Amino acid sequence: MRKIKYILTVLSGVLALTSCDTSELELSNPNTLSPDTFFKTKDQVQSAVNASYANLQTRGLYGRNFSFAMDLMSQETLGNPQLEGNKKPFQDFSFNAGNDIIQYYWESCYIGISRANFVLDNEAKINALTELVLPQEQKNKFLGEAHFLRAYYYFLLVKRFGDLPIYKTNNIIGNARSPKAEVYALIEEDLVFASQNLLARGVETAGRATKEAAYAYLGKVLLYQKKYDQALTAFNNVTGFSLEDKGSFYNNFMEETEHGKESIFEIEFDAKNGTGDQWGSQGDSGGTGFEEATLRGQEYGNLSWYNVYPSDDLLDSYETGDNRFGDTFYLPGSPYLEGKKVMVASNFTTSAGIRRAGWKKYQNYYIREDEALRSSINFKVMRYADVLLMKAECENQRDGGSQTAAIAYIKQVRDRANLTTNIAPTKEAVFAAIVHERKVELAGEQSRFDDIIRWGIAGTELQGTGFTAGKSELWPIPNRETSSNPNIKPSDNNPGY
Amino acid sequence: MLKIKIALIGLLITGSQHLIAQSKTIQGVVTDPSGFPLPGASINVEGTQNSASTDFDGKYSLKGVNPTDKITFSYVGLISQTITPGQRSSINVTLVLSTQNLSEVVVAYGTQKRTKVTGAISTVSSKDIAAVPITNAESALQGRAAGVTVVNGAPGSNPTVTIRGLATMGNSAPLYVIDGVLTSNLSGLSPNDIESISVLKDASTTALYGSKAFNGVIVVTTKKGKKGAGQLTFGTYIGGQEITKRYSVLNTQQYLQYAKDLGSDLTARAAEFGNTSTNWQDQIFQTGLMQDYNLSFSSGTEKSTSRYSAEYLKQVGAVINTGFERYSFRANNTQDIGKLKVGSNIGVSFSTINPERSAGGRTLLEHAIKMAPYFPVYNEENLGGYQGPSAVDGNDAENPVRVANLGYQKINNLSLIGNIYAELEILKGLKFRSQVSLDYFTSKDHTFVPSYQDGSYHKQAFSTTAETNSQGQTIVFDNSLNYKTTIAGKHNLEVLGVITKIDGKSQSLVAGSRYNISDEIDQLRYNEGNLGSANYEEKNIGYIVRINYDYNDKYLLAVSGRRDASSRFGSNNRWGNFYSVALGWNIAKESFMENSVFSTLKLRASTGTTGNDRIENYQYSSTLIANYNYPIGGANAPGVSLGVAANPNLKWESKLDRNIGVDFGFLEERITGSFEYFNNKSSDILFAVPLPASVGSAGGGTQIQNIADVKVSGYEISLGYNDRKGDFTWSAVANLGTSKNEVVSLAPGVTSVLGGPVPRAGLENFSRLEVGQPLFYFYGYQTNGIYQNQAEVDAVFGPGQTAVKPGDIRIIDRDGNKIINSGDKTNIGNPYPDFTYGLNLNAAYKNFDFNCFISGVQGNDIYNANTFDLQGMNRLFNASTDVLDRAVVVNGTVTNPSASLPRAQGADINWSSANQRYIEDGSYTRLKNIAIGYTLSGDAFKTYFSKVRFYLSGQNLITITKYTGLDPEIARADANANSAGIDLGRYPQPKSIIFGLDVTF
């Protein structure tokens, strides 16, 4: 019996040491915040909004690929031999649903949407905060920013893919595609909310979406749907802006002159905050980390990688005396590096021969010799010149519109370019003038491809490039989606893919 | 739980009532075949508790033996002998080495006699390990343990080990147990310190490790001190290793012509560099020197044993600026204090790894293939001293020599693995054991890259420093009771109960900075940088019971159960129950078999379950990520948003194992062998399922789900033969294993999942999961030659399309919709072999010994991602000489119909990563090792040494394969199931020649 007692003593000791206390197994993650306790302070609400902005910088969007894809499709730029294999298909429209640039574009936009939805899904929590923590006006403007960004991303998507799965709140079940019209309806709804709740330019910190930006995009979205009257009304609310002065066109493309008088909305870059994991996959679509620079300057620049060069067709589109030409392109003889150096023919040498020109818009050569440090120059994605030309288009197209009024808008843009304006006041002549003016004013600004698609002239403008009418207007839904979303099958893809 | 405890105690008490009749005492000496005394050999009267062990002169004395008793003499690593004493009172025994069957087998929480094993276990002895000079202990299993595959990587990296094929979709690495310490690899262990390795393959042997045992268990026992006079041994080897195979790429002359055809005239550019022709592959491969020195001292008295060892290993890699250096130390001690035994096994190792470096997410080999041949390696005029391309070259591959050699990357590891235990014999046969184990590591990964400028593409105006520091510890506290008894002389019973508690913690600190001022400082500084840290914790509790019963060694029964809780699951699914049952029948011991040829014949069958909790910590709770940034108003605006999509319903992955086996031995064990068949089913396999991209970061891209059920079945055969004719002894051991897996079902709503590594970031995934197919088979486009003219193209796509042209690959339009899209993809390859095999030949004649070891795999497909660079031709890079035979298209017609490759820069789909053109047969047969040794004899030596042996060996000297890559034994990207069979151009296995010396003083 003593032995049994002895054993029992030992055993109870063992049991005490390795007790069944399963509460010890209840661990919480010490490395992250929890959604249950979030949205308690102004900083928290603002940081949730910031996260949605951060996705504009991904390599799938303005960090890298977006400009290539758009400028190549429009044939404003063409690839030198070193242009990478995933970008080349945009020049001849041979891309397929496996293309990673299309995938990252899709992912970048939808991740941006889900971050905006993260704010909107918590609207009740935000509105429940006291006035002391967050005044109502601030609550409204944060929600307005989320609505603006959601609209911005859906607009990027609907232009490229047509019918889309729509997520008004976050969930992890993939939705089926909804008709394009429903997507536009949501975008309009979001932008209307944004235009009513965002702060005005001058009140809001530069870099955040403003009331005027919301009106400009609302107008643009309506114009894309050919709702010209409504669009014009929206554009008329974009007040307080003017064109950069004659001779200062290049102010739109430099770092020091960001958020100038012509600028309505910009995609922000600032390399001093960090250039992140340069080629890692983090920045493709997730927007994590400090990737605060864009690769555009390095990849476009003729003193750097020179992956693309301006096409002859674009160079030849400029009228003699158009002062935008010298601000858009570098040619042999162009000064750079604060005027200390001059470009020579060998600066345009590629393995396929010597090119006529290189890009100047958004390049840092005006102050630097190369682009090795990558670029901090913001993309001015909505500037007043664009609004003027869109207003001209509305006037020209709307029932009862005035060609004279349209010509007046165009004239403002041409005056700044040091050109005379002599357009016949007919619908056709004004339209032709708008087509030309948008091509040269907005060259290399990812505008032309969208324009020729919505005007229905892509088939003729892009003849012989590989563009197939009825197919190439849209990109394919990426395989990454069709392989993981049970509600969108490969057979549901856009025509021809 | 308390009820089980009480029941256990009850059992223990009933068992201890038996007493044994006594008669006389037997004495003698136990020796090995060379006449050396064997200290510590055990002598046991069968079916009783009456036993003794030999002293350090090999002498024993056993009381109370009846003339008809059967006395078993056994010693680890040698064949046991059973003798009936009759009237003798003195019996001297010589125990001989077994070819494969160790008489004592190390199993979970103890050892077991081979004859009593009912599960599937492969063992590798210290002798096998010593036969081939290896730098990591895992390599000892390659080709030796049936059903185990081992794939090595770069020096210092952990090999990928798979037991009985893939049964999971996450980490497929087995559990390692070193002297009872649970760990995840054997990297800190010197192969010289290993006494034996047991591979536990079925649930009856692994279920005791419950939630950790899903992928099988590798139990390693380190060498202990031996009773007897102190013995000092010293071993060393030195050798060279080299990668001899090269891809055939274009030389400068060929490259210039090829570039011209692609629209780039580089004649003048090449002339600038004097028309050199650099072979970049020769520049990145080198002859690496390996050296190893090991020293051990073993001693023991009646009451204690100890063994101390030290090893220094230095391996210069066969790829430039790679290498591995390790110092390892080990001290194993035991001490008997009456009924109390205490001991410790502690190993410490310090290692430095120079890993294979990469840049831009591309391997050195990829850069070496793609780099234009007209560049010289070095250029003193460039910052950093290397030459690389500029925009004018139209080719932006990086100089691989600069990538490898400029600056450095060093990983310093410290690993401490050890245990301290105490074992008390409470009653005769009843032992209580308490053990604390520690697995502790620190790791510092430091990278420094100074500023450089090779050309207009590759430059860095500042120096960068990055460092990751991590530290982790797992403490396991085991308390066990073991009771062993024999009832009525024939009922042998052993009961084990264990309570185990596992507590794991790890933390990491990641920092990086850049410095614009100078390259002279390679330390972190606050100039422009990033910083982050993380902490992880993991806890498990387990209760374990095992009962082994046999009737007279003939009929065997083993039952075990384990109840486990893991902190990785929510409280709703935290506990898991695992069990096993096994039966065995020693037919050879039946009286009707007495005169048969069989010396061993045993049938066994087992079934049971194991679990898997190997997912990231905290996956059941939702998190936010606070790592989004956007510059607003000149300052950073930090962002926070949704992180991982939580799955509060996560539960254990579980596996049902079924195994039947037969062990046999003929002609007094000259021929031995075993056959096993297994049929396992894994259920609720955990996998990070890719969520639809359109749901955005609502799910962080993936969600861990219990997604699939998978069936794995196969068989394993081992055969051994050994013979002796005078001075000539020889043995042959062959094994063969098969394993076939198939996805049985997927979670509701999931029809398929794509994943796995790709040749380039951003390319399409091609490893797919689908019901009725193997796990992560290759899924992509089937090809059928090349379109010769426009009519052939139009016949498929109709007129008017421009994406595909003559000279492009004819991808089969399987669904006939006149469009090549993902609907045309199908099964294009299976990464798993039909079977793996090994053949080990040993021979000795007088003072010479010889070993030859062949291993291979058959029937697997390899996805050769290097083909993407060699034959892809999607833009100008250097390429394989195969591109000289590409389709040439003139006026819409291919002018060389026999061309083996499509046109250069053809349709996008030509080089889609999901394409049959990258799939190759990966079968190979490899001479892993061939060695010849000579042992010095003569009395002159005996004065100072007890043994001196020299040997010369060669590894991987001959490989027979159709695979065109540098090495069919491809280094895996990671331990995840979906990286199987994909050759991304990582460190190929080198050939090596080694000269070694072993001395025993």
Question: Is A244 inside a domain boundary?
Answer: no
Nearest to A75 by CA among A378, A390, A495, A451: A451
B802 and A92 within 8 Å at the Cβ level: the answer is yes
Mutation for testing the B interface, residue in A25, A369, A373 having most B CBs under 10 Å: A25
pLDDT at B213: 86
The alpha carbon torsion through B974, B977, B983, B987 (nearest 10 deg) reads: 30
Q: In this structure, is residue A79 part of a structural domain?
A: yes
For residue B858, what pLDDT is reported? 94
- Give first-to-last CA distance, chain B, whole Å: 53
Task: Give φ, ψ of B382 to 5 degrees.
Answer: -85, 145
Q: What tokens appear for B93 in the block? A: 């025994």
Is the CB of B574 inside 8 Å of chain A's CB atoms?
yes
Residues 744-763 of B with CB under 8 A from A: 749-754, 761-763
Interface touch A33/B636, C-beta < 8 Å:
no
Report the distance separating Cα A245 and Cα A294, nearest Å.
27
Secondary structure (H, E, C), B177-199: EECCEEECCCCCCCHHHEEEEEE
- Using CB atoms, which residue from A7, A47, A205 is nearest to B638? A47
Which pLDDT tens digit goes with each residue over B642-681?
Answer: 877 778 888 888 999 999 999 999 887 889 999 999 999 9
> What is the per-residue pLDDT for B700?
56
Last residue of a domain, one of A342, A359, A376: A359
Amino acid occupying residue A231: A
Nearest C-alpha neighbor of B590 from the set B551, B557, B563, B558: B551
Chain B residues touching residue A6 (CB < 8 angstroms): 426
Q: Determine whether the interchain pair A488/B692 forms a contact, defined as Cβ–Cβ distance below 8 Å.
A: yes
CA atoms within 13 A on the CB side of B72: 18
Q: Which residues of A touch B693 (CB under 8 A)?
A: 103, 106-107, 110, 478, 480-481, 484-485
* Contact state of A110 with B696 under an 8 Å Cβ cutoff: yes
- Tally of domains within chain A: 2
Q: Does B823 touch chain A (CB under 8 A)?
A: yes
Please report whether residue A125 resides in a domain: yes
Q: Compute the nearest-CA separation of B320 from chain A (Å).
A: 24
Q: What is the rounded CA–CA span in Å between residue A336 and residue B655?
A: 69
**Inside any domain, residue A95:** yes
Query: Chain B partners of A49 at a C-beta cutoff of 8 Å?
Result: 639
Asked if A476's CB is within 8 angstroms of B821's CB, the reply is: yes
Q: Are residues A47 and A179 in the same domain?
A: yes
Boundary-marking domain end, from A198, A231, A248:
A198
Residues of chain B with Cβ-Cβ distance to A286 below 8 Å are 697, 701
- How does DSSP classify residue A37? G
Q: Do B391 and A82 touch (CB under 8 A)?
A: yes
For B9, the enclosing helix (H) or strand (E) is helix B2-15
Residues A320 and A181 in one domain: no
Chain B nearest-CA distance from A81, in A, is 5
Q: Residue A483 contacts by C-beta under 8 Å, 6 or more apart in sequence?
A: B690, B752, B753, B754, B765, B822
- Rounded Cα–Cα distance for residues B246 and B382 (Å): 29
Distance CA A297, CA A304 (A): 8
Minimal-distance CA residue of chain B relative to A495: B819
| Residue pair A302/A348 in contact by the 8 Å Cβ criterion | yes
Last residue of a domain, one of A141, A169, A198: A198
Query: Do B530 and A56 count as a contact with CB atoms less than 8 A apart?
Result: no
User: Mind listing the pLDDT tens digit for each residue in B811-835?
Assistant: 999 998 888 888 899 999 999 999 9
CA torsion B69→B70→B76→B77, rounded to 10°?
160
Pair (A317, A183) in one structural domain: no
CB burial class (10 A; 0-12, 13-18, 19+) of residue B118? buried
Q: What is the pLDDT along chain A (497 residues), one digit of tens a residue?
A: 555 566 555 555 555 555 556 677 777 777 778 888 899 999 999 999 999 999 999 989 999 999 999 999 999 999 998 888 889 999 999 899 989 999 999 999 999 999 999 999 999 999 999 999 999 999 999 999 999 999 999 999 999 999 999 999 998 889 999 999 999 999 999 999 999 999 999 999 999 999 999 999 999 999 999 999 999 999 999 999 999 999 999 999 999 999 999 999 999 999 888 776 655 555 788 778 778 889 899 999 999 999 999 999 999 999 999 999 999 999 999 999 999 999 999 999 998 889 999 999 999 999 998 887 679 999 999 999 999 999 999 999 999 999 999 999 999 999 999 999 999 999 999 999 999 999 999 999 999 999 999 999 999 999 999 999 999 999 999 988 998 898 998 889 999 88
Measure the CA–CA gap between B875 and A86, rounded to whole angstroms.
10
Residues with Cβ < 8 Å from B794, sequence gap 6 or more? none
Judged by average pLDDT, the poorest of A484-493, B77-86, B409-418, B572-581 is B77-86
Q: What is the mean pLDDT of residues B50-78?
A: 82
Contact between B894 and B807 under an 8 Å Cβ cutoff? The reply is: yes
Of B269, B625, B763, the CB nearest to A100: B763
- Extract the tokens encoding B315: 């391996």
**What is the token pair recorded at A183?**
């997507």
Inter-chain contact B12–A7, Cβ cutoff 8 Å?
Answer: yes
Burial class (CB in 10 A: 0-12, 13-18, 19+), B1: exposed
Nearest to B690 among A38, A46, A484 (CB): A484
- Asked if residue B373 lies in contact with residue B251, where contact means CB atoms within 8 angstroms, the answer is yes
Q: How crowded is the C-beta side of B343, counted as CA atoms within 13 Å?
A: 20
For B248-376, list the strands marked E by DSSP.
Answer: 288-300, 304-316, 323-337, 340-354, 358-359, 362-363
Same domain, residue pair A181 and A68: yes
Q: Which residue of B has its CA nearest to A102?
A: B762
Complex ipTM value: 0.91
Q: What's the maximum distance between 2 C-alpha atoms anywhere in chain A?
A: 117
Asked, for residue A337, whether it belongs to a domain, the answer is yes
Q: Which residues of A touch B823 (CB under 8 A)?
A: 490-491
Bridge partner residues of B721 (DSSP): B671, B732
Amino acid at A491: S
* CA dist list (Å): B361 to A279, A452, A494, B358: 7, 38, 33, 6
Residue labelled with tokens 């559990």:
B175
Predicted confidence band of residue B102 (pLDDT cuts 50, 70, 90): very low
DSSP B913: S
CA distance B360 to chain A (A): 6
Domain positions in chain B are: 2-94, 106-230
- Residue A496's contacts (CB-CB under 8 Å, 6 or more residues apart) are A468, A470, A471, A472, B819
Which domain, by its residues, includes A128? 40-198
Chain B residues whose CB is inside 8 A of the A353 CB are 265
Q: Which CATH number does the domain housing residue A90 bear? A: 1.25.40.390
Q: Which two tokens stand for residue A204?
A: 């809001």
| Helices A211-224, A136-161: crossing angle, 10 deg rounding | 30
Contacts of A480 in chain B (CB under 8 A): 690, 693, 754
Assess if residue A370 is contained within a domain: no
Token pair listed for A177: 């595609």
Say yes or no: B818 contacts chain A, CB-CB below 8 A.
Answer: no
Q: Is A288 in Cβ contact with B628 (below 8 Å)?
A: yes
Element of type H or E holding A73: helix A65-73
Q: What is the pLDDT of residue B159?
A: 84
User: Hey, do B2-94 and B106-230 end up sharing a CATH topology, with the first three levels equal?
Assistant: no
The alpha carbons of chain B give a radius of gyration, in whole angstroms, of 31
User: Span B106-230: which CATH code?
Assistant: 2.170.130.10
Interface of B with A in 849-878 (CB under 8 A): 872, 874-876
Q: Which of residues 344-383 of B touch A (CB under 8 A)?
A: 360-361
| A151 lies in some domain | yes
Asked if B938 has any chain A CB less than 8 Å from its own CB, the reply is no
Model confidence over B611-621: pLDDT tens digits?
Answer: 888 777 777 77
**Cβ-based contacts of B421 with chain A (< 8 Å):** none
Angle, vertex CA B20, rays to CA B14 and CA B25, nearest 5? 150
Of B510, B577, B499, B507, nearest in space to B538 by CA: B507
Kindly give, in sequence order, each residue whose CB lies less than 8 Å from that of residue A454, ignoring residues fewer than 6 positions away. A224
Does residue A457 contact residue A434 with C-beta atoms inside 8 Å? no
Q: How many CB atoms lie within 10 A of CB B96?
A: 13
Q: Which residues of chain A does B876 touch, with a Cβ-Cβ cutoff of 8 Å?
A: 81-82, 351
Report how far residue B180's alpha carbon sits from residue B437's, in angstroms, rounded to the nearest whole number: 7
Contact B823 A107 (CB under 8 A): no
First to last CA, chain A: 84
Q: List, as ranges, residues 670-689 from B with C-beta within 8 Å of A.
A: 689
Please give the residue of chain B at the shortest CA–CA distance from A117.
B698
Reported as a single tens digit per residue, the pLDDT across B172-228 is 889 999 988 888 888 888 888 999 999 999 888 888 888 888 889 999 999 988 877
> Residue B84 and residue B532: Cα distance in Å, rounded?
70
B478/B531 Cα distance (integer angstroms)? 38
Contact B862, B966 (CB under 8 A): no
Q: Are B550 and B492 in contact (CB under 8 A)?
A: yes
Which of B 475-534 lie inside 8 A of A, CB atoms? 477, 479, 481, 499-501, 528, 530, 534
Rounded Cα distance between B828 and B818, Å, is: 21
The model's pTM is 0.85
Asked if B266 and B258 touch (Cβ cutoff 8 Å), the reply is no
C-alpha distances (whole Å) from B854 to each of B100, B142, B737, B930 are 17, 10, 14, 9
Which CATH number fits the domain B2-94, given the four candidates 2.60.120.380, 2.60.40.1120, 1.20.1070.10, 3.40.50.2300? Answer: 2.60.40.1120
CA distance A215 to A243: 18
Is residue A191 located within the same domain as residue A337? no
User: Which of B539, B638, B821 lies closest to A25 in CB terms?
Assistant: B539
Tell whether the model's pLDDT for residue B42 goes beyond 60: yes
Three-state secondary-structure class, residue A63:
coil
Q: What does the block give as tokens for A211? A: 């009331």
Residue A342 sits at φ, ψ, to 5 deg, of -130, 135
| Structure tokens that stand for B282 in this block | 């020769």
Question: Nearest CB to B822: which of A101, A106, A490?
Answer: A490
Predicted confidence (pLDDT) per residue in B596-612, tens digit: 888 889 999 999 998 88
> A306–B638: do the CB atoms touch at under 8 Å?
no
CA distance A86 to B874: 9
Query: What's the angle, vertex CA B106, arms to CA B101 and CA B107, rounded to 5?
Result: 120
Q: How far apart are CA A413 and CA A423, in angstroms?
A: 13
Residue with tokens 């993407």: B868
- Among B228, B393, B418, B435, smallest CA distance to B1000 is for B228
605-624 in chain B: CB under 8 A from chain A: 617-618, 621-624
Mutate to test the interface with A, among B8, B536, B694 (most CBs of A within 10 A): B694
Instruction: Note whether A268 contacts B631, CB cutoff 8 Å.
Output: yes
